[in-house]
Structure 1
Amino acid sequence: MIGRKMPPLNALRAFEATARHLSVKNAAEELCVTPGAVSQLLKTLELNLGVKLFHRVNRGIFLTDIGQAYLPPVRNAFRQIIEASSRIASAEETGILTVSVTSFFASAWLVPRLTQFQNNNPEIDLRVVTNNQLVDFSRDGVDVAIRHGLGVYPGLASHRVLAVDIVPVAAPKLVDRLGRPASPADLTRWPHVHDAERKAWHRWFQSQGVEEVGPLRGPSFDDSGLLVKAVLAGQGVGLLPAAMVATELAQGQLVRVADITLLEDFAYYLVYPEARHDRPKIAAFRRWILDSAAEADHPE
């Protein structure tokens, strides 16, 4: 931890410019301030440090020995800031695009199509991170995210990518114990397994014309893989994308207990802060993923 308080940055800028020019007037012109303002900043810095940085002789100004020793680290610090800022600014245009996505969507839909994106945008390197939590764009270093839900995310731009077929599934032992449901309404009496938002089951019952549902209890999971494991363990009936449980259905580990439904309100959405809408690499990814989803919905 730094024991001494950081000197004022404006005073450090005045020192570096004056030391480089050995002229208060030229430093003032570079910094777009008056010579008097530069002189005041230099005095502030010397008072802050408790040392003399310049000799003032007639109308000339020269560095003291302490000033000469102080200049290289100050100049190097400003150089590092400039270089780091340039790298960040450049990264906004090209470089790495970090995409946060659920592991299921990444493996089932995104990854098999990435070759096309890379061929069309060779200057952008995708960094795909799998995460089922909500993203803090200001902290997590994520440029865009793809999430499954209703598409309402305050402060974020949201673009519907695609909806998926949803199928109610349960473990055979649960079906044997409760009996195969004769109608969708029968499932209101079953134990349920939920996703993190706990809204999908209510939407599904509404889509089936079942209005009086009441509270639906049961565990919820923010990870689709854990939700599948809970359903496999017989903890309840779950609503899952058909493609996600195709293997388990084919092998008899899970049983479909009602018809597949397309919940239009629930879909995968591309989201990012509204202020980033026009950034080139985000715009390129947005165009590509929306075009790819449209082609998947309407193949030639």
Structure 2
Amino acid sequence: MTLRRRLPPLNAVRAFEAAARHPTFQAAGDELGVSAGAVAQQVKALEGWFGVPLFRRLPSRGVALTPAGERYAAAVGDLLDGFADATARLRRQGQDHVLTVNTTHSFASLWLIPRIGAFRARHPELDVRVVANNTLADFARDELDVAIRHGRGRYRGLRADLLLRDSVFPVCSPALRDGTPPLARPADLARHVLLHDDDPIDLEAVAWPDWLAAAGVTGIEARRGPRFTHTFMVLQAATAGEGVALATRVLGGDLLAGGRLVRPFPEEVASPYAFFIVTPEGQDPPKVALFRAWLAEQAAPLSPLCDGT
């Protein structure tokens, strides 16, 4: 005997589940890429299919789940999560040769991409895909294998292993350091343009006011000067001689080694943040294990410089 499932319209279920997680239909529509009216129409269709209300409309124009809606939302949310996980696993089959790495724009451009050729040369059987953004993406939804993130290493439900600690210090072009006015000690910053990093990830913990205070420098207007949304942009401005930027050993190391940037004085401040390898909990797939081992090798030369010793 063939089992025939009696299921509600799946588009309506998807709209309902999104609406159940948001305070308004507009927010649910933004997630789904449709209008608030379309969400309301799908929810109304689902309520008609059941013959019971799933939401009650609030005077504030928001919505709240009814008791029946709460029960159904809990069940449907678990089912859709399982459906998404199963879909991601199936899509990953046949993709064992693709390694997808998620990290920030600045870490990708300043550290990872200049080194990734060495990994590809060692493991030509793997195709590397780098996805850069400033938020820790969803591993299942975005089909990620591994992430490298800058923070305190607390990522709920994920494994986070320390890759590199870091420190923060001023940098500038050689011409700016050797020019006029002089730039030989932190107090000289008062006569130079400060370049500001507004990247919410890479240097969130240490900006110019923090660095100057930690270095004991006073009498400088620490918030004046050009601002940039990514670390790689502010360092590019520094190499062009536009002013003095804050860099780190990790993100500024290659520019320093190549002579495009210099440290005008040795003072530095330890960063409370570090770089972490982030993966789903459990045993690494073989390709992730290979990448993790390679990252550790690449980080080894920097580790003595970045661990506070």
AA aligned opposite 2:90:
R
What residue in structure 2 maps to residue 71 of structure 1? none
AA aligned opposite 1:112:
A
AA aligned opposite 2:145:
D
Instruction: Give the SS at the match of 2:112.
Output: helix
Q: 2:276 aligns with which of 269, 282, 285?
A: 269
Structure 1 alignment gaps of length 5 or more: 1-8, 13-47, 49-80
Name the one with the larger helix percent.
1
Q: CA distance change for structure 1 residues 176 and 103 in 2, over 3 Å: closer, same or farther?
A: closer
What residue in structure 2 maps to residue 160 of structure 1? 162
Instruction: Give the SS at the match of 1:235.
Output: coil
What's the TM-score, normalizing by structure 1? 0.51
For 1:206 and 1:159, locate their aligned partners in 2 and report how far apart those are by CA, in whole Å: 31
For 2:303 and 2:265, locate their aligned partners in 1 and report how far apart those are by CA, in whole Å: 26
The offset of 1:98, in angstroms, is 0.6
What residue in structure 2 maps to residue 108 of structure 1? 114
What residue in structure 2 maps to residue 88 of structure 1? 91
* Paired residues of 2:100 and 2:131 also in contact (CA < 8 A): no
* Paired residues of 2:146 and 2:288 also in contact (CA < 8 A): no
Q: 2:254 aligns with which of 227, 243, 250?
A: 243
For 1:86 and 1:242, locate their aligned partners in 2 and report how far apart those are by CA, in whole Å: 38
* Paired residues of 1:162 and 1:269 also in contact (CA < 8 A): yes
AA aligned opposite 1:129:
V
AA aligned opposite 1:193:
L
Deviations 1:82-139, CA, capped at 9 Å, x for gaps: x9676336469x45331024122123344324545x38xx6xx342315253242265
The offset of 1:265, in angstroms, is 3.4
The offset of 1:166, in angstroms, is 5.4
Determine what percentage of the aligned residue pairs are the same residue: 26
Q: CA distance change for structure 1 residues 221 and 114 in 2, over 3 Å: closer, same or farther?
A: farther
* Paired residues of 1:207 and 1:263 also in contact (CA < 8 A): no
User: How is 1:171-210 mapped onto 2 (pairs within 5 angstroms)?
Assistant: 171=173, 174-175=176-177, 179-187=181-189, 190-195=192-197, 196-197=199-200, 198=204, 199-202=206-209, 204-205=211-212, 208-210=215-217
Structure 2 alignment gaps of length 5 or more: 8-48, 50-83, 305-309
What's the TM-score, normalizing by structure 2? 0.50
Greater gyration radius: 1
AA aligned opposite 1:105:
W
* Paired residues of 2:256 and 2:262 also in contact (CA < 8 A): no
The offset of 1:161, in angstroms, is 0.9
Aligned residues: 210
Q: CA distance change for structure 1 residues 265 and 146 in 2, over 3 Å: closer, same or farther?
A: same
The offset of 1:237, in angstroms, is 0.6
For 2:177 and 2:296, locate their aligned partners in 1 and report how far apart those are by CA, in whole Å: 41
AA aligned opposite 1:227:
V
RMSD: 4.4
Q: 2:293 aligns with which of 284, 288, 294?
A: 288
AA aligned opposite 1:10:
R
